[in-house]
Structures are given as C-alpha cells and as structure tokens.
Structure 1
Amino acid sequence: MAPSRARARSIATDGAANRLRFLALTSGRPLWDLAQRVQPVRRHLNASLIDHAVREMPPRPEPLSTMADYTSWASLTDRTFSGRHMPPVSGPEGGRPTPEQAADLFTRGDAMIPCPRSTVLFAYFAQWFTDGFLRGDTHVPRDPRKNSSNHHIDLNQLYGLDEAATAALRTFDGGLLKSRLVNGAEFPPKLCENGKIKDEFSALSVIRFDELTDAQRDTLFATGSDRGNIQLGFTMLTVLFLREHNRVARLLAGHYPRWDDERLFQTARNILIVLLIKLVVEEYINHITPYHFRFALDPRLSTMLARAPWHRENWASAEFNLVYRWHSLIPSKLAVGDRELPMAETLVGGALIPGPGLGRLFEDASRQRAGRIGLFNTDPVLRAVDVASVAESRALKLAPYNSYREHCRFPRVRRFDQVSGDARVSEALGELYRNVDDLDLYVGLFAEEPGAPNAMLPPLLTKIIAIDAFSQALTNPLLASRVFNAATFSPHGMKVIATTRTLSDVLHRNVPEDPRPRFVSMTRQGAR
C-alpha cells in the first residue's frame, strides 16, 4: 500500500534562509534563462552557486576520521579510514528500534511509489558512478571504519584501482583496452575459463566470487572494478565506457601518429575521466536539483574556485557513503529487451547485454520509471542492505538525524510530522523511536519529505549530496587550471570533452551493432 501524501510536511521547519534560497532557484525561470545566455554572467553564477552550496557545511580537512574520536597525524592522513563530518556520539540507551526493525521501514509493499522525474538509467548511473569512490572495506569480516577507495573520480570501474589491474586490462598496443567483438561491437573479454580466473587477469577480483557457480563465473567480464559484474546496469555502463575509451584512443592515434601506446592510453584515460566528471555535473547533478539554473563544467571553474576553503584533497566520508544508498530507486522488475525480469535475475547480468544490444538496454532503462527515494519503497530483496546500513551507522556512532540538520544549517525538528507530513511515515517513526532526537541519520535522511512535489530528494539529503558531490568532483587534479588544457588532453581531446553533454551523446557514438536513434535520459519523458 502506497503512503498517502494528502498533507505535506511544512517547509517552515527548513528555516527562512533555506526556504528563500530554494524559492529563488525554483522561481522566475525567464530571468534564469536570460542570465544563462550571457556567458560572463553564467560563469559567475555557476561558480558562486557551487561555492555557496559546498560552504553549507564546514570544509575539509575534517578534524576527525573514523580512526579515532580524537585528532592525530595518522587520523588526518590515513585515508584507508573514512572521513566523518561530525564527532562520534553514543546512541541512547533504548529509545531506538533494532537495525532489523528500522530496516522494515524501507520495505516496499505491493506497488512501487514512482519517482516524479527519474528513470532507471538514473538509478544505474548513480550506483555505477558512486561505487567508483564510495568503496567500503572488502575484508571479511568487514570493518565499517575502513574503505578501499582511491577517493577520486578516476574511473577505476574501467581502469582498476591500481597499476597491476590497469596493466591486466590493457593491450599495450595503440592505447587500447582489451576487448572482444560480439555482434560487431566491443565487449570486455571473459574473466574466467572453466570457473577459474584466467592467468592474464590474476590482478583482478570479483566480490563474492566464491558464491558463484562455475557457469556464472564463465559469464563474468574482465573489468577494473570488483563490482563490475554485480548488476546489469553497472555492467552496461562499464561496457559503454570501454567502447568510448577505445574510440577515443583510435581517434587520437589517427591524429597523432607519432604518439606511442603509453601516451595514447594515458591521454584517452584523462579524457574519459573528465568526460565522466562533466556528465556528473551537467546531466546527473542537474537532474537531481529542481533549479532553473543549469550547472556546467567550465574549464575556468577551478581558477574561479581556487581560493575556496573547501578546495582540498578528496576524502570520502562515512556520511557520504550512507546517503547514497538509494535502493528505493530500483523497481522490483526491470525491463530487459522484450522481457521484464525480477531484479534478482539481473544480478551478475552481463550475459544479458549482447542479445538485445547495448542501445536497446539503455533505451529500456530510460523509458522505465525509477522508484521514489524514501521509506516503504525498497524491494524486499535488498532488506539486508538496509539492516547493515543502520547497524554500520551505529557502529560508527554517527550523530542522529537532528544533529546533522543543525550541522547543515537547518533548524532542528521537534516532532515526527515535521520530518514527514505522510501520516504513515510519521506514525511509524513515532512507534519505533522514543522521540525525534533519537532518529537515526540513515532513517531520517530517507524519511524526510521533499520540499516540493517535483523534487527528487528531501532537503537534508540534497544538501549533503551537493556538498560532497561538488567538492569530490571539482577538486580532481585533471580540472586544475594548469592541467585542464590542450597540452594534457590534446586539441582533439578537448573537442571530445566540449561536445559531450549527456550519456546519450556517448551512447549514440558507440553502438555499431544497432546505430538507430534512441531515447536515452536520466529524466523521464514529460517530466519537468
């Protein structure tokens, strides 16, 4: 049963400054359109709005990490521990549900609540993009304090986390990555033969490999990420970027015949990383925000933001990892070619791609609506992930929801109906938590109601995403003012970056098996 939305949460609890900013950015579209037509004005607004968004929280370096509850040189430099925005806080004695009870708040009923704007492609991209740098500990048992991240947007989904993995994936000829042709189009090579990882790919790994049958192992692709085969959407995007890397490498080889393999590979890699960051800023973030202003990746942006206090070395935080668990986006059944498959059947789903073809699957994902991010909307198959998320947040002693509201310059809420006007949500919270100050951050983030009917995300979640996403993407060394130029990327590489604005652009130049025009978008047709 879908929750009723007859009575909306009052946005008065978000504070006057936050309400005025939201109103200004979502009203007066003709004025915003006019401002964006004047390039100097657009550049200034772009830098100013980004800077203001990130300054809503104290900047890095954080005084604490998950290493300890005090500051040390090690805690300021050892990035195998995750950053943290707030000091650890011991939870209340009682007054909170068990992680299992809290996870029940996320479970979907008979029908999915659809997102007003998003397609399944958005869900696929969100998982694939963030899994590149929001990487938890890979040891068993898992240590929630630790991570296995490089803390950069570096396309390790394609290139691997280290040089050994990268070398295993390269041909060392013409700057290309290894691939094989299926139906006239490139795919990653097979990772395994007879259930065993091939010697040439010994530097690669796959999560939960021991749980797979030999038949499943023989369908796996050799990819940079240990999660590269985890789900159909993840694998689709890796295949697409493999094709784009090799396309760009061949383009560079044609224009610069004196370049050796190493320079061709490294330049193509640079181009692909910035291409991804551009898609994140200009398609992904613009899809998330309901604003009339459209953010852009301008080569001058790093210079304009160089003195911003947050322009520091990347360090992914425990909170950022937590806010990106958007499992409610995923429908219980997914469109795959001419079939609708239960989500579980798309896990380890690379073998599903060649039949319909990459273009068809991207269009399928673009025409299917995603679920709305929030409570009571996650497929029961993923319940264990929500249990683990609540348990890990408590193991890390993350401060409660209200403390993070205050940290992000929102007023504290006093009642559960100020978190959500949906009676089903507010009453369920009231039954499980002693009072609103006991509300877990993880639960509160997704219980909070969006500030407008067409908004995808609630206010606190939006603010944390904006703070961490912009500061994570725009501090990439490839965007530095002395690096983001033709000397690094080549004139033709700069043209590739400049002329690419959407995933649709990338897809349509990489589907030789079926080159027909297709609708490819994170935003559903007809959505505003």
Structure 2
Amino acid sequence: MRYQLYFVFSVLLFWNSVLCLLNSISNVPPIIGEYHDETSSKCALILRRTSIQRYGRTPAHPYGGFFDFLKPRAFLPSGPLENVCIRYSDVNRALAEAKHQIGYRHPPTINSLEPHPAHIDKTGELVLATTKLLARQFQLSRDEIINGLPMIDTSRTDIWEVCPAHLKPLPCTMERYRTYTGVCNNMQHTSWGSTHSSFVRHLPPAYSDGISAPRVSVVDGGPLPLARMVSTYIHRDFDTPSGDLSILLMSWGQFIDHDMTLAASPRDENELDFTCCGIPKEHQHPNCMTIDIPPGDPFYAHYGETCIEFKRALAGHRPGCALGPRVHINLLTQSLDANFLYGSTEKLAKELRLGKGGLMRVWDYFENFGLKPLLPPLSTYPEKDCTARPRHLFCFNAGDERVNEQIHLTVLHTLYVRDHNRIATELSRLNPHWDDERIYHETRHIMAASVQHITYTEFLPMILGEETAARYDLTPHTHGYWNGYDSNVHMGMSSGFQSAAFRFGHTFIQGMVRRYNKYHEFVGEDPLRTLLRQPYIFYEPGKIDELIGGLINTPAQTYDPFITQEVTNHLFEEPHIPFGMDLVSFNIMRGRETGVPGYNFFREWCGLGRAKTFEELEPVMNNGTAYKFAQLYKHPDDIDLWSGGISEHRLPGGLIGPTFACIIARQFVNVRKGDRFWYENSGFPSAFTPEQLQEIRKSYQAKIICQNADDMPTIQLYVMRLPHPI
C-alpha cells in the first residue's frame, strides 16, 4: 500500500508540474516561484477541472473522488476544462480571516521544540479554519481537500509564522543516542515519529464534511448507531477464559501501546479533566463530544444516566503545517524506544532521573522490609488521573502518564524502572570512568533494544501467528545484523492502529484481578474497577509480587466480541458511585471523531474483499455477529473498525482476525524499518557490537520479572502463556 500511495502522489506531483508548464505558456502564474507577500499573484496550487466538477460535485462516497484522477478521461464528468488557481495571497487572506473568526492569539510556547499540546491545538484549529475557508471559497471536492491542499508549500505563506518549530526542518547530526523527543531519528524528515507530531493515515479520512466533522453513514449521510447501543447489543459480557494465555499478554500489549501512542486530550488550566455532561451545549468546552445513553439502557437506566463523558482529541499538524483535513497530536515518540520509562520530552526525562550513577528516581518505601523500591510519587499533580486518593498516599510518576490507569501497568512500570537501575549499577561497576550521562544513555539504549526484542520474539508471533509474522518479515534474526532501515519509511502510528486495531487487547481483559503467592497458589482477588486509577495496594508489603503472580497465572479472556462489564459499565468508577464509563463506546467514538474509515474499507485495503451485504460477513465473524450488525447499521460500509475487527474469527496460529492482523503487522513493519536506532542495525553510531547484540537476544520477559521481583523463585519461560504441568 505504501508503494501505491507513493505512486498516487507521484502522479499528483507530475500533473501539477505539467499544469504549471501549460499555464506559464498561457501567461498564468506558475506554482513554483519566489516567496511573495499578500499582493502576490503566484499560484500556490492549480486545480484542473471540468465545469461540472467545478460547480456540480456532491460525492456520496466517504472518500469522494480519491482515485478519480487515475480514471480514463472518458469516465470523468464531461465539460470544458478550466484551471483553478489558489494563490499564496488567497491562503494568506483565508488565514487572516480564520484568525478573526476564532479569536486567535499566538501561543507562547509555539516556537519551542517542546510546545504545550494545547498551544499546538490552537494553531492546528487555525489551519483547519483556513482549510474550511479555502474549501468554501473554491468549492473544493473531498479529493482536492485531501490530496490537493496539502501540496501547497506553506513555508511561502503566513502559516509558516504560526507553525510549531518542531514540525519545521531542523539541523541534525548523527549521534549514538536517541533524542528524548525522537526528532532527527530520520535525518531527511526530522519530525517523522517525533513527540507532538501527528498520527498518520493509511486511508483517506472519512470526515462527513471532508475536513473535520465526525464520520456518518455512507448511505444517507445520517447518524451512525449510538456507540453505547453498539456496546450493549454486540459487545456484552460473557466469561470465557483462555486455557493457554496469561493476562500478561493483554498488559504487555497495553504497555508497548503506551510507549508509542497517546492522543492529546483537552485539559483545564490545572492539567485536570473537566466535565461536559449536564452542561448546556453553548457553555461546553469546544472539544466536548459526549456519548448519549439510549433510553432503556440495560445498565445505566437503573441510575437515570443519559450521558457518558467523552472529549475530542486535540488537533495537530502535518509536517510543515500543511493544509488539509484534521489530524491529531501524538504526545509520545512513535518508535518502540522504552520511553514509557524515560518520557517523551526532555523536561519529563530530567524530572525522572536521579542525576547520579545513571539511575532513575525511585522511592525506597519498603527499605525497612528489605524490599525493592517503588516508582517515585506523583506529587506535582497528585489528583491527575488518580481516583479517591487517600491523603497520606500517592499515585506514581513514570515516563507515561497512564502508569496508574490499571494496576498491572503499574506493576510493569515498576519492574522496568528497577531493571534500568539494575543495569545502570552493573555498567557503573564495569566502567568506573563513565559519568552519569554516559551510564544513563547506555542503559536507556539497552532497555529500548530489550523491549524491541521481547515484542518481536514473544508478543507479535503469538498475536499474528508465526506464519503471518514471517510473511511480513517481522521475525528478528538469531545471528548477525538485519540492516533493514529505510529512511523513506514513516514509522508514525496510524489512526486506524491507534484508535482501533491495537485496542484488540480489550477482549482479553479479566473482570477480576487475581493474586498468587511465590508458589503460584491463589491468595485473593479484587474487582478490576477497584484498581483502576487506584494503585494504593502497592503500599502493602509483598503485594507487588502477588500481583506479578497474578499476571503470569491468571488466564486471559478468549478473543471474541465480548468485553467484561468491568470496563463497559464500571470503567474508572469512583468509590460509592455504582457506575463508571464505557471503554467500548470510547473505542467506537474515537474512531468516528478522528475520521477513521469503517471496517469494510480496511478489509478492502488489506486485500480481504469488501462485503456488499451483511450476509457476506457471516462466515467471517463470530456467533452471528454479522446479523447483529445488520440490526444496527444501514450498510456494511458503516460498521466501525474496532467493532468489526474484534468480531472476526481468529487467524490459524494467531490470536486475532485477519483485518487487525494486517493493520498491526504493517504498522510494526514500519516501526522496524523506519527506526534508524533499531537494535539489529549496523553502520550507525548507535549500533551494538555483534557480541552485544547476542546478549540483547537473551532478553526474555521472564528474565525481567525474575530479576526485579522481590521473591519469585520459579516462573514459566514464556510468561505470556499460562504454565502447564510437566
């Protein structure tokens, strides 16, 4: 698909060049020229249209005429040809009008290399408003908005003055260590995969207005079924535990997801969440997009609830602040680099470091018990994403802000911080001449390599199946170097991956958090709802090891469309309130608001065929789910990607269905090929020696647990699978 997109855009660029030449002959100003001010008549973009295209376009398809320019001319609308010139001055006038419309004030941190996400959002909304004005002025089709407007060189316009500094080309040098933000990983495209850059797209966005309005039905432009209705009708709670998989499989997937993706959510002035439900529309925050609870809801109706809190992700920018449809900020580096430990900004990284011996900050809370330390306390914003905090206790601080989201995440964060300090201590002993900076970055370098190796040798082969992993060349070498880096590959996380496909792990979630002693004997359990954003059990000596025992001994749920009510009715539930929020509704709404096309279009993209009727999906899906979709959706094209993908039959040898396997495999291909610092590469300052690389290949998740638990004498080798009797 990547090569198809290259071909598509090459054709666009070719035709744009041809039009420039033709128009220069006709005394029409060419596209390429020197920068000109407001009075300039230079064309920034020339669109070639028929008069019917110009004045009579109402495409019903969610992608409009994305491939129309590839069709033979006989099949295009007839009419006299005309050139439409969008000038640099038109862009500048639209920008000035957009500033007036939204009351724009230049954000203070926008020229910093680590701007505040809310400030990126302000300039992102400004560029979106400019896009809307140009689309209206020139009556642009979806195809022209998606593929035409981004071709305008905004460095020749006033947009360049409001474009965040980290998205402009930066000078880079070849270094041994990654930057904290991931800038300069790619020397040619300096912002690719960096902190605060945007999610990428593998398919054109399916916004209802072509720019930013959430997805609607392709049949009549009407609303899609309520997200909560899809949740309760299709994704109910059935307890079917796996006989093979441990719950660590789900937690590891979430852990590495939190290394690569985090959509920026709006916050108030104190960096806290705010309320949308119950507030009149005219007084709501502009990012409020609440989820309606239908009358007669089987759960919420008992409590008179009609609304679930949900907010739209903050707007971001493409590289160079190009015009076009809405994109969204990823707050993290998008490489697999263990930055759940270190943070994705220099500010956070420094906050988490001890400043001597290459060590990370920890909290020796159990020093008197002879137990290993905890994560440092979250004292700066103690209430941030932390529920019902006792006054004398704290949630924890880490490289990713979701460390306290669920208790097993907190366990993994603790194990990996302990492992960093273990390795740093050993490097310091072996290299007494190294300073704090050298020890820290060498340890960070090793930890990233270890996470990459474990993910590609233990996790992905289980998820995709060894055959699929091999087909996509996702199997690491056992000896020597791989050397597959390609500077033309964008490692950036895709919207379909972030909002849907890599949320497949939600089907594995267990409703109870079990604990086991060091002899693998069951000792207790708690409802999951009591340990979401409430990690206070950590303050009881010995409980961390019991939770580790639970990670490797508790069976995950089976892969199917059914999700535990602990996260569909009780997500982030506060004590003394009998209901919470709904994770399934969040998944569905996130896809819609970010313009992710429906499930059927990704099936087509993956070469699986697009279903024309719901009956065609019956052999593909579990337990009559296709019939249930037919009761809610008007057409198979309307089915939400997450809901459809989670409902497929598993691939032979894998744990997920073919559509999600395709999206995930392609994403991890890009993660490996697009990362200059990938652990198997040679020829760069970051390369490991052959001997060091062989040591990295000895990394196992079981080894991490054994070396960093307090007292764990025995453990199965492959900890994402349940132990089996010998």
Question: What is the TM-score with the length of structure 2 in the denominator?
Answer: 0.57
Q: 2:362 aligns with which of 167, 174, 179?
A: 179
What's the CA shift for 1:210? Answer: 6.7
Aligned counterparts of 1:462 and 1:222: Cα–Cα separation in 2: 33
Contact 2:514/2:524 (8 A) holds in 1: yes
Separation of aligned partners in 1, 2:252 and 2:606: 26
Deviation at residue 470 of structure 1 after TM alignment:
2.8
Residues 121 and 189 (structure 1 numbering): CA distance in 2 closer, same or farther, change over 3 Å? Answer: closer
Give the structure with higher Rg (CA). Answer: 2
How many Å apart are 1:352 and its aligned residue?
2.6
Deviation for aligned residue 1:389: 2.3
| Alpha-carbon distance between aligned partners in 2 of 1:217 and 1:348, rounded to the nearest angstrom | 16
Contact 2:403 2:413 in 1 (8 A): yes
1:524 aligns with 2:722: yes
Alignment pair present for 1:252 and 2:435: no
Q: Could you tell me which amino acid in structure 2 is paired with residue 88 of structure 1?
A: P
348-357 vs 326-335, which moves further: 348-357
Match of 2:643 among 443, 447, 470: 443
| Match of residue 553 from structure 2 | 367
How far the C-alpha of 1:434 sits from its partner, in A, is 1.9
Measure how far apart 1:130 and its partner are.
0.5
Q: Which residue of 2 aligns with 1:347?
A: 532
Q: Aligned partner of 2:344: which letter?
A: L
Are 1:88 and 2:205 counterparts? yes
Equivalent pair of 1:417/1:426 in contact (CA under 8 Å): yes
Please identify, of 421-430 and 222-231, the stretch whose mean Cα deviation from structure 2 is larger.
421-430
The aligned residue for residue 481 of structure 1 is: 681
Q: Pairwise mapping of residues 18-37 of structure 1 onto structure 2 (< 5 A)?
A: none
Inter-partner Cα distance in structure 2 for 1:126 and 1:386: 17
**Per the alignment, do residues 492 and 507 of structure 1 end up closer, same or farther by CA in structure 2, a change over 3 Å counting?**
farther
2:559 is paired with a residue whose SS is coil
Aligned pair partner of 2:440 in 251, 257, 265: 265
Q: 1:296 to 1:492 in 2, by over 3 A?
A: closer
Residue identity in the other structure for 2:560: G
1:408-438 deviations in whole A, cap 9, x for unaligned?
A: 1111223434434444312211111123222
Distance 1:143 1:298 in 2: 44
Alpha-carbon distance change, 216 to 108 in structure 1, aligned in 2, over 3 angstroms: farther
Please name the residue that 1:128 is paired with: 255
Residue in 2 aligned with 1:163? Answer: 346
Partner residue, 2:464: 289
Contact 2:497 2:664 in 1 (8 A): yes
When residues 518 and 327 of structure 1 are mapped into structure 2, their CA distance, relative to the original with a 3 A threshold, is: same
Amino acid at match of 1:279: I
Structure 1 residue 146, shift from structure 2 partner: 2.9
Contact 2:515 2:549 (C-alpha < 8 Å) held by counterparts: no
- Is contact 2:335–2:671 with CA below 8 Å preserved after alignment? yes
CA contact (8 A) 1:299 1:484 kept: no
After superposition, the Cα gap between the structure-2 partners of 1:217 and 1:503, relative to the gap in structure 1 and judged at 3 Å, is farther
**Matching of residue 332 in structure 1 with residue 531 in structure 2:** no
Contact 2:614 2:630 in 1 (8 A): yes
**d(CA) in 2 for partners of 1:408, 1:272:** 33
The structure-2 alpha-carbon separation of the partners of 1:438 and 1:217, relative to structure 1 and needing over 3 Å to count, comes to farther
Tell me the distance in 2 between the aligned counterparts of 1:168 and 1:210: 19
Cα distance between partner residues in 2 of 1:352 and 1:483: 47
Residues 216 and 413 of structure 1: CA distance in aligned 2, closer, same or farther (over 3 Å): farther
Change (3 A) 1:222 1:246: same
Matched to 1:468, the amino acid is Q
Q: 1:509 aligns with which of 696, 701, 707?
A: 707
Pick the aligned partner of 2:333 from 150, 169, 174. 150
Deviation digits for residues 76-120 of structure 1 (CA, Å, limit 9, x no counterpart): 9686332111112333224841222122245433x3233464210
Verify: 1:424 aligned to 2:601, yes or no: no
Q: Which residue of 2 aligns with 1:317?
A: 494
Contact 2:618/2:624 (CA < 8 Å) preserved in 1?
A: no
8 Å CA contact 1:132–1:153 kept in 2: the answer is: yes
1:288-316 Cα deviation digits (max 9, x unpaired):
1333669225575542x245xx8524211
For 1:330, give the aligned amino acid: I
Task: Tell me which residue corresponds to 1:434.
Answer: 634
Q: Note the C-alpha offset of 1:457.
A: 0.4
Give SS of 1:151's match: coil
Q: How does 1:105-116 map to 2 (within 5 A)?
A: 105-109=233-237, 111-115=238-242
Tell me the residue number matched to 1:459. Answer: 658
Secondary structure at the aligned position of 1:82 is classed as coil
Distance 1:423 1:373 in 2: 12
Q: Report the identity percentage.
A: 20
CA distance 1:498–1:395, shift in 2 (3 Å): closer
Deviation per CA, 1:31-68: give whole Å up to 9, x if none. xxxxxxxxxxxxxxxxxxxxxxxx68857899799977
User: Partner of 1:284: helix, strand, or coil?
Assistant: helix
Cα drift, residue 446 of structure 1: 1.3
Q: Deviations over 1:270-296 (max 9, x none)?
A: 000111001110111122133366922
CA 1:266–1:366 in 2, change beyond 3 Å: closer, same or farther? same
The correspondence of residues 390-405 of structure 1 with structure 2, limited to 5 A, is 390-405=588-603
* TM-score (normalised: structure 1): 0.77
Q: Which residue number in structure 1 is paired with residue 608 of structure 2?
A: 410
1:98 to 226, 230, 235: 226
Number of equivalences: 454
Cα RMSD, aligned residues only: 3.3
Shift of 1:240: 0.8
SS at match of 1:242: helix
Between the aligned partners of 2:258 and 2:356, the Cα distance in structure 1 is 29
Change (3 A) 1:446 1:318: same
Instruction: Tell me the CA shift for residue 373 of structure 1.
Output: 3.1
CA deviation digits over 1:373-431, x for unaligned, max 9?
Answer: 33233323346222222223222332221111111111122343443444431221111
Partner amino acid for 1:314? M
Q: Are the aligned partners of 1:95 and 1:435 in contact in 2 as well (CA < 8 Å)?
A: no
Say if 1:160 and 1:351 are closer, same or farther in 2 by CA, change over 3 A. same
Corresponding residue SS for 2:561: coil
Structure 1 residues 444 and 460 mapped into 2: Cα distance closer, same or farther (>3 Å)? same
Deviates more, 1:316-325 or 1:56-65: 56-65
- 459-468 or 424-433, which deviates more: 424-433
Residues 179 and 186, structure 1, Cα contact 8 Å, conserved in 2: no
Quote the residue 1:3 is aligned against: none
Correspondence for 1:138: 265
Residues 264, 306 of structure 1: alpha-carbon distance in 2 compared, 3 angstrom cutoff: closer
Aligned residue for 2:452?
277
Q: Name whichever structure is richer in helix by fraction.
A: 1
Classify the secondary structure of the residue corresponding to 1:477: coil
Cα distance in 1, alignment partners of residues 392 and 533 from structure 2: 9
**Do the aligned partners of 2:247 and 2:551 also contact (CA within 8 Å) in 1?**
yes
Distance in 1 of aligned mates of 2:640 and 2:478: 38
Indicate how the Cα distance of structure 1 residues 100 and 348 shifts in structure 2: closer, same or farther if over 3 A, else same. closer
Secondary structure of the equivalent of 1:518? Answer: coil
Whether contact under 8 Å (2:393, 2:536) holds in the other structure is no
What secondary structure sits across from 1:466 in the alignment? helix
- State the secondary structure of the residue aligned to 2:556: strand
Secondary structure of the residue aligned to 1:460 is: helix
CA positional deviation for 1:249: 0.7
Shift, 1:189, TM fit? 4.4
Q: Which one-letter code corresponds to 1:85 in the other structure?
A: H
Q: Which residue of 2 aligns with 1:232?
A: 407
Q: Distance in 1 between matches of 2:352 and 2:334?
A: 21
Moved more, 79-88 or 227-236: 79-88
**Aligned 8 A contact 1:106 1:386 in 2:** no
Unaligned segments of structure 1, at least 5 residues: 1-54
